[in-house]
Amino acid sequence: MSFHPLRQTLRATLIAGLLVFGHVLLGSAASAPRNIVLPLASNLRTTSALIFLTLLWQSFTLLELVDARHTADRFNGEFGMNHIGRDEGRVFGTTAVEFIHNSVLLGAWAAWSTTALDSFSALSMASSLNLELVFLPATATIILISVLLLQTQLVLSIARHAYTHGGIFTSDFWRGRTGWWTERVRLDVENIPSETPTLSVVQVEVPEKLISP
């Protein structure tokens, strides 16, 4: 699987994990006894903020990707260095911003997981929530792995480009859309008629006075 299809698959997995995790957490907290939920109020606010910010970032990135694809279609699918200038005005989908956001989110989710999952285990005291709580560690793990793989894929792709082509320490490289260095020119197939074209001879009569010496 190439760079962009794999990245879109990871994004879809991350979004699905965030939605399921948020739904289960909200339902569990709403059904849990008050004496269990109150000590978890701080962790619930932090978790809600992480889910919201991650979904917001992914939403803006996907919107910019759709606009970038529309721009590429208008230019007949020509990518590469000439395509960097057409990325002006985009923020979330650029290489530098996505690299920084991935790093920050990965660190935030990793730091959150060290304490929050242990705190949320207190919800298991409510017997009616045991089945739902199975999804909490599972979806949290999916979220962490998805963010980790997104960052790992980006770092490895940049490292590969630096090894084969170099030139990553330039503003053009980091201002371009993420993964522009993996794209190629798209060739359109044109149907050529099978019939061989024929030349028609046109006879023109020239007056004798024009050719006489």
Q: What is the pLDDT of residues 52-111, one digit of tens each?
A: 999 998 988 888 877 655 555 444 444 444 444 445 556 667 888 889 989 999 999 999
What is the rounded CA–CA span in Å between residue 116 and residue 102? Answer: 20
Residue boundaries of the structural domains of the chain? 3-182
Bigger pLDDT: 176 or 120? 176
State the Cα angle at 96 between 94 and 98, rounded to 5°. 65
Q: pLDDT band for position 12 (50/70/90)? A: very high
Type of residue found at 188: D
Q: According to the model, what pLDDT value does residue 198 have?
A: 52
Q: How far apart are the first and last CA of the chain?
A: 75
Least confident interval from 16-20, 77-81, 156-160: 77-81
- Mean pLDDT in residue range 177-184: 73
Query: Whole-model pTM?
Result: 0.71
- Alpha-carbon distances, residue 61 vs 7, 25, 83 (angstroms): 12, 25, 18
DSSP string, 167-197: --SSHHHHHSBTTGGG--PPPPP-PPPSSPP
Q: Which residues, including other chains, have CB under 8 Å from residue 189's CB and lie 6 or more apart?
A: none
Bigger pLDDT: 173 or 10? 10
